Amino acid sequence: MAQLLGLDVDAVARGRAELLSGQVVYERVRRVGGGRPRAEKKRPRS
């Protein structure tokens, strides 16, 4: 399936295992801490 869709085999395997385990968090797209860091830091409050 991964090769057919041009996706990473390991990513598909992790997703399948997550779905089969029943431990899916529907509110989030990424894990906590995942994704790119902010381009700019927040300014400190004065």
pLDDT of residue 46: 65
Q: Which pLDDT score, from 0 to 100, does residue 13 have?
A: 92
Question: Which residue shows structure tokens 């529907």?
Answer: 26
Tell me: the pLDDT tens digits for 1-46? 888 888 999 989 988 898 898 877 777 676 677 777 777 777 777 6
Q: Which DSSP letter does residue 36 get?
A: P
pLDDT given for residue 33 in this prediction = 74
Domain boundaries, the chain: 1-29
Is the pTM value of this prediction over 0.85?
no
| Cα–Cα distance measured from residue 13 to residue 19, given in angstroms and rounded to the nearest whole number | 10
Are 2 and 9 in contact by the 8 Å Cβ rule? The answer is: yes
